[in-house]
Amino acid sequence: MTKSPCPTPHNEAAQNDFAKTVLMPGDPLRAKYIAENYLENFRCVNTVRAAYGYTGTYKGTPVSVMASGMGMPSIGIYSYELFNFYNVENIIRVGSAGGMTNDVKLRDIVLGQGACTDSNFAHAFKLPGTFAPIASYPLLKAAEELAASAGLCYKVGNLLSSDLFYKDEEGLPVYETDLHLWQKMGVLAVEMEAAALYMNAARSGKNALAICTVSDHLITGEATTSKERQESFHEMMELALNVATRL
């Protein structure tokens, strides 16, 4: 991997400003909320493009949180730089997802064991075939054990990381028009970042996990508000933070 001096065009943080483990929500306001409500002695280390980044401690463990923005190109940039330029070892995505099966309910947690995708992101690695983006097992194992011991409502399984939100010819969200195709393959929920994060982690020899809360449901039509997505997914936030204390 090519090394680059810090800061980068997308991150004003200095070389040692990030902890070894970074929680990465898509929403900058969720990053701010996590820092203000969970981290002790936190400081802001990045504000470039409003991808707010903070570093502090949680139960005595150094932890950072930084927004990834929406979509695989965005998390692709930020996770690549954190892994390869800032010496981050673990990135835990804490995001929202749309439930795609009756096996998951609104506000359930999905631990992304794998991430299917309709993206061409993997083409950048010039592989002679397809690549299966999967979570790092130590992170997944820790998250599952902690979720079980806390009595959380959670599922472990496949996510769909979609490059598109709207499908041109129908004018509908892409996951609604193709819902039945992914359902028959057992995919639990759809989001837009995990596959790229998993691929960057694999290429960098680092660790990644997506922990997502079902923020809306494509079968029942239930949905949370934007404010609820920013501030009320406490079980997901605390689960990810507790995973960080084990690393």
Closest CA to 65 of 100, 104, 24: 24
Question: What distance in Å separates the CA atoms of residue 132 and residue 117, rounded to the nearest whole number?
Answer: 9
Is the dihedral angle over the CA atoms 165, 80, 200, 99 positive or is it negative?
Answer: negative
Choose the catalytic residue: 118, 163, 178, 216.
216
Contacts of 227 (CB under 8 A, 6+ apart): none
For the question of residue 216 being annotated catalytic, the response is yes
Active-site residue set:
216
